[in-house]
Structure 1
């Protein structure tokens, strides 16, 4: 027994002495799967980004505006030719009429040339985009074979199921719509027409301040029911630091301001400076875009207190979300304040909404709060101005130097959008910097290149 144990110990000792030292161990991993082509995926992403940057809503708006402008010009030319045929006296009148028609034809030719070049550019862009999309599709189909765990396919199935579930819930909750759905939040609901202008005045400072806004307080303080207010951009078409008051319309027209200016600050720019022309007065307080902020300021004309309402993160400001037409954009019109029978509204756009108009109700208080918000499908830079009437948002666009069109509406009660309003405004100046609706007298007040113009609004 002892001998056996001794033999085993000797054997163990021998093995221990003969064991080699520690060596590095390497394993070779062999995979049957092909390497994922990351470079191809990067190229696909880059091409998609380029395509998105090349094809923008502005291009469609540009073509539509040119076609609309050509349609209006041709109609006017036809009228002028008819007048010439009827009233030509063969002498001075005929020469002048022919001269007018010649100028119109020259403008039409320039418009057609611009339309042709724009159309050719769009055709080339469409052809290139079509080719790129086909190539992108082929690349993505080739990349799908690397989805061995079927993650993409699973996502598609989930999306399909979610859409079916939403449709099912919508069908279950569907209610029968009334025969004539409500158009807004007041008896004067459907806008039928805008006539005028009824008032046209250069005021106290003819031609001095191109940008500004004016109007009436929809909920005036007692004794101030006939008052009018005026805010002029007194610094670089961008800033203002006071609101000017007039005791009546006649006082505004002849330029007699009583009680005069009510200052927010002694100079521009400062923390509470007014930035941009789209301002309104409601309940004895001025609402405007705060200087250098994505926020609404409320200035109480009696207490001189300023309170601030912060807008959602991503709101465009400092001239990054302006009203525009083909020829130009109106600087620092990112925020448009509006009033109607129900109170104050703010119209703006955000990065999350890709430049489309966003409408929010401003709830009164100290400070004011942001109420319900609606999102639209109309691109803000395709719009020249907006206003509210009876809970309906209206948007305008530039037709030519003498005509503006109310082309769009969004009903906050029904949630419906219309792009075919087709109500035209006769302009006294080429540009409208601000529009304010007054429910007190159903007038639309426009500030046009330093002139104050008002129109009568006709409702159903």
Structure 2
């Protein structure tokens, strides 16, 4: 090999080893997406929660109740004016009728004032709510721009598809659904509110009888449609006669006609009325038989007494009274109540562990017990009960001025509701008897020697169907 050939190779090798190293390869990552504004989402959620707390079902119920109450009061006023036109004798009856009408008009005026205030509040609330919803919609539209994966849009499309599928399926299996879920045995629906008191009087006895009961016969005999009855009880809560009045005016001024109808000659004896929870129905007085776990029926026409024994283990003689935290009401083991279908009795038994038991009292001769239900509300936690349209309602003592209808039991469906939440404004601390009359949808209360009445308002609402 020639030397001249070796030298160039050596030079090439030297040049290769001395070449500078190449630069490192790098790339930049650029994110086009903006960071998600979590703080703005939290603000929107907070605004939505605040809006929800301002717009509540109770506010809508208040307005509906006021409108319904005004409608009922106007109807009552028209009825009172008609009675005045027919009965006005230019003397005491006319004066009392005018007094009743004046009270009705004052109550209507107060109701309209409250309705006007409530309507104005709702107008402001509606305007504020609309603006808040518009703001929420605007913010949510801006937040949707961050949904680059189209998740929200996909869920929205899925909801539309599910709705269309349900519509299609309902068309295939078409059945006519009821417009409103059945509640009780009447079309008027559940109890919505209690207004009043409408009447507040001591009658002719002026506080002499602290205990008793009064009301109207839901199934009156011919010619007695406008009669009122009253059962005054002694201080030991016994009675032996029922007293009648030909009209409300007669009851207020104390003119009793035909007067007393005697059941037994004295107190207490075999057929004595025991306790304040008695009612009149179909020309007969139903009450707790003296010293018995039985319901007595006194026929006003034949002047005879028949009875029906309650189930074995029934508590009586003040062993399971109506109560509240401070006291119990003596001899209230049995509560006789009426509604559109007849007479019922509320009591408890050892087998029911002290819970309310409800039985239908059938108009047989002698009377008999029909279907019976056991509820899950403890009787001593209840201060009184009444029936309306096949639904049992229970009250509890709140304070000296307020009573609450807190519980209902629907005999048609067996459904219980512990959140009825309807309040009664009391004129005296203690309600000894409470009964509903379907003749005029009134509640008749005997409270510390006073005879008091309230208007019961009924009606369907989505609020109630969601609570039940």
- Matches of residues 46-125 of structure 1 in structure 2 within 5 Å? none
Is 1:331 matched up with 2:334?
no
Give unmatched runs, 5+ long, in structure 1: 1-175
Is 1:307 matched up with 2:270?
no
Shift of 1:364: 0.4
Tell me if structure 2 keeps the 8 A contact 1:210–1:237: no
Deviations 1:225-244 (A, max 9, x none): 0000001112x332100000
Deviations 1:92-137 (A, max 9, x none): xxxxxxxxxxxxxxxxxxxxxxxxxxxxxxxxxxxxxxxxxxxxxx
| Structure 1 equivalent of residue 233 of structure 2 | 233
Tell me if structure 2 keeps the 8 A contact 1:322–1:381: yes
Q: Distance in 2 between matches of 1:181 and 1:237?
A: 46
**Stretch moving more, 205-214 or 373-382:** 205-214
Give unmatched runs, 5+ long, in structure 2: 1-175, 460-468
Tell me if structure 2 keeps the 8 A contact 1:445–1:452: yes
Q: Distance in 2 between matches of 1:296 and 1:426?
A: 31
- Matches of residues 34-433 of structure 1 in structure 2 within 5 Å? 180-234=180-234, 236-433=235-432
SS at structure 1 position matched to 2:223: coil
Q: Distance in 2 between matches of 1:179 and 1:218?
A: 29
Q: Distance in 2 between matches of 1:230 and 1:457?
A: 21
SS at structure 2 position matched to 1:253: helix
Shift of 1:182: 1.1
Q: Distance in 2 between matches of 1:271 and 1:399?
A: 37
Scaled by the length of structure 2, the TM-score of the pair is 0.60
Deviations 1:145-190 (A, max 9, x none): xxxxxxxxxxxxxxxxxxxxxxxxxxxxxxx996743111122221
Q: Distance in 2 between matches of 1:387 and 1:377?
A: 17
Change beyond 3 A, Cα 1:177–1:269: farther
Q: Distance in 2 between matches of 1:358 and 1:181?
A: 25
| Structure 2 equivalent of residue 111 of structure 1 | none
| Structure 2 equivalent of residue 83 of structure 1 | none
Change beyond 3 A, Cα 1:177–1:209: farther
Q: Distance in 1 between matches of 2:381 and 2:261?
A: 35
| Structure 1 equivalent of residue 446 of structure 2 | 447
Q: Distance in 2 between matches of 1:232 and 1:277?
A: 8
Tell me if structure 2 keeps the 8 A contact 1:345–1:361: yes
Change beyond 3 A, Cα 1:177–1:294: farther
Tell me if structure 2 keeps the 8 A contact 1:325–1:384: yes
Q: Distance in 1 between matches of 2:177 and 2:394?
A: 26
Runs of at least 4 residues off by over 3 Å = 176-180
Tell me if structure 2 keeps the 8 A contact 1:437–1:445: yes
Q: Distance in 2 between matches of 1:248 and 1:452?
A: 14
Scaled by the length of structure 1, the TM-score of the pair is 0.61
Q: Distance in 2 between matches of 1:393 and 1:249?
A: 27
CA RMSD, aligned part only? Answer: 1.5
Deviations 1:230-277 (A, max 9, x none): 01112x332100000000011001111100000001101110000000
Shift of 1:372: 0.2
Deviations 1:389-423 (A, max 9, x none): 00000000000000000000000001000000000
Tell me if structure 2 keeps the 8 A contact 1:211–1:447: yes
Q: Distance in 1 between matches of 2:383 and 2:307?
A: 26
Change beyond 3 A, Cα 1:378–1:178: farther
Tell me if structure 2 keeps the 8 A contact 1:209–1:237: no
Tell me if structure 2 keeps the 8 A contact 1:218–1:438: yes
Change beyond 3 A, Cα 1:225–1:372: same
SS at structure 2 position matched to 1:323: coil
| Structure 1 equivalent of residue 129 of structure 2 | none
User: Larger C-alpha radius of gyration, 1 or 2?
Assistant: 2
SS at structure 1 position matched to 2:366: coil
| Structure 1 equivalent of residue 43 of structure 2 | none
| Structure 2 equivalent of residue 95 of structure 1 | none
